[in-house]
Copies of this chain bind each other. A is one copy, B any other.
C-alpha cells in the first residue's frame, strides 16, 4: 500500500491507473478508521480495480467552537486497517497542501438541503464539506466515491453537488455499521467515557422504538418523533439537538410517511455530539 502526501504525486498515480485502464474507487475520510469506513472500502474494493482512501481532518467543516484540534488521529493504526481492507493508496495531505491559502477564496455551496438538521447547529459545516469533497474528487478523479449512511445529510449534499456540477463520478452510499450493542460507529465515540458510552445507546434504541412503531402501523410524524423524544429524555445527561423525520430524497417536510423517509437524530452526550439515523423505505 502506498502513502502519498502531495497532490502532484496523487495525480500522477491516478493518471497511471487510467492509462492502465483501471477504475478507481475513492473513500474520503477524516481518519481514525473504524468498521464503518472499512465497509466503504469493502464496497469500493468490489466495484473497482483500485481503491484510494484519503485521510484529511478538514478545518473548513469545523465550527470555531468545535473539536477540530482534538479530533482523534492515528495514522499508524489507520494504515494497518486500510492495508488489511485492501486499500491500494492512502492520500494523506497536509493542510497547507490542500489549502495554500486558508480560508480558500472559492467555496461550493449547496442550498435547500443544508440549512436544517445538522446544518442548523453547524453553520458553514456543509460548505466546508462540499468544498473539500469537490477538491478531493478533482484530485483523485475516481469513477466512484463512497460515503456512509451515518452522515446521511452529507451523502445527500455530495450527491447533489456531484450531480449539479456534472462531475463524472458515481456517488455511492453504504449502510450504517454498528457496535454489537447497536451504537453507530463513529470516530467521535472515542470521546465517550464508559458511562457516556452506555448512555449513547439511547440514540439507536430510540430509532428502534420508532421503527417498531412505524412497522406496527403508525405513519404520522408527530407521534413517531414523540416516541423518540420520550426515549431520549430518559437519559438526563443527554441534550437533544434535533429529532427529524424527513423525505429521504430531499429532506422535505412530511406530516405522514408517504414517501421513503429518513429518521435523523442528533444529541449531545456530555460534550460529545452524536448522530444516528434510520431509513424507512416506502415503495
Contact of A135 among B104, B131, B136, B165 (CB under 8 A): B165
Chain A residues 127-143 with CB under 8 Å of chain B are: 130-131, 134-136, 138-139, 141
Say whether B108 contacts A113, CB under 8 Å: no
Q: Would A109 and B111 be within 8 Å (CB), given that A135-B165, A141-B168 are in contact?
A: no
In the assembly, what is the distance between CA of A109 and CA of B134, in Å?
13
Whether A74 sits at the interface, judged by CB under 8 Å, is no
Question: In the complex, what's the smallest C-beta–C-beta distance from A158 to chain B, in angstroms?
Answer: 10
Q: Would A108 and B106 be within 8 Å (CB), given that A7-B166, A11-B168, A138-B166 are in contact?
A: yes
Question: In the complex, what's the smallest C-beta–C-beta distance from A168 to chain B, in angstroms?
Answer: 6
Residues of B within 8 A of A134 (CB): 165
Residues of B within 8 A of A106 (CB): 108-111, 130, 160-161, 164-165
Whether A215 sits at the interface, judged by CB under 8 Å, is no
Size of the chain A interface, CB-CB below 8 angstroms: 27
Residues of B within 8 A of A11 (CB): 168
Whether A167 sits at the interface, judged by CB under 8 Å, is yes
Say whether A139 contacts B166, CB under 8 Å: yes
Whether A107 sits at the interface, judged by CB under 8 Å, is yes
In the assembly, what is the distance between CA of A11 and CA of B143, in Å?
13
Question: In the complex, what's the smallest C-beta–C-beta distance from A77 to chain B, in angstroms?
Answer: 28
Say whether B105 contacts A160, CB under 8 Å: yes
Residues of B within 8 A of A64 (CB): none
| A residues in contact (CB < 8 Å) with B | 7, 11, 104-113, 130-131, 134-136, 138-139, 141, 160-161, 164-168
Beyond known contacts A106-B165, A135-B164: 13 more, CB 8 A cutoff: A7-B166, A11-B168, A105-B111, A106-B160, A106-B164, A108-B108, A108-B165, A131-B165, A135-B165, A135-B166, A138-B165, A138-B168, A139-B166
The 3 closest A-B pairs by CB, nearest first: A106-B164, A138-B166, A106-B161
